[in-house]
Amino acid sequence: MNEVGILYKRAGRRTKKIFGQTWFYKQFDPHVLNAVMFALDERNMSFAERADPVLVSRAFTLMVGEILEGEWNQNYTLPGTKPFAWTGSEAILKEYFFSGGETVRYSQCWVFAGALTTMYRSVGIASRPVTCYAAGQDFDGNLIIDKDRIVNGVMSDDSVWNYHVWNQCWMKRRDLNNSMFDGWQELDGTPLHRSNGEYQMGPTSFKQVKRGVFVNKYDLRHLYSEVNSDYFKYDGNRVTKINRNL
């Protein structure tokens, strides 16, 4: 129910300093709900599908990547707002809605997560942003971060980010036919990994990630690897296992 919260980040790549940024969710603003409904209409999501929080929450991780344009290389050549200048979701969703669905520039992971929190809360799905420090990015799905290594003849794209922000939502997982997976679910709206051919991720049960229970919904291997994968780095002479920590 809170309309103001904190997004936790890390200051720079070479520092361990952690800080929080105030974020204004403003999920009760009427234009926010209008923007979310407009985005659902643009995705042609049926009313039957909108009754399922699992399908809605998953669709939102795709939609937020269409509402916001990600930019990680500071290539701000077109008019827009730099990621660090955003302080809340309301302005983003209003700009998207009143422009008739034009993509809003620019975003990075915490902006996607902040906007997603607002979107979920606006339709009654309990949500919060979460931050992972030293977040593994396992692109080949082997649960190992092969940094600077050649794997199967190809240089691995795996990496470790100094931090990454995604979302949790609270819901029942009737689709898994097991109540043990009810509760907090992990979802990620940063559009960097494809799932079923599109940039979307989750929901997968927090309990699955914590226990390593590999049930086939949704994107568990990647979400698991962000917090639990082994990290190997090749320095040109040998492969070394590195402990990821704060």
Which one of the listed residues 29, 138, 158, 164 is annotated catalytic?
164
DSSP string, 109-162: HHHHHHHHHHHHHHTT--EEEEEEEEEEE-SSSSSEEEET-EETTEE---EEEE
Q: Is 132 a catalytic residue?
A: no
Q: Is 109 a catalytic residue?
A: yes
Q: Is 46 left (phi over 0), alpha (psi -120 to 50) or beta?
A: beta
State residue 80 phi and psi, 5-degree precision. 165, -175
Q: Is 222 a catalytic residue?
A: no
Which one of the listed residues 29, 146, 158, 188 is annotated catalytic?
188
Residues with Cβ within 8 Å of residue 195, at least 6 apart in sequence? 201, 218, 219
Q: Which residues are catalytic?
A: 109, 164, 188
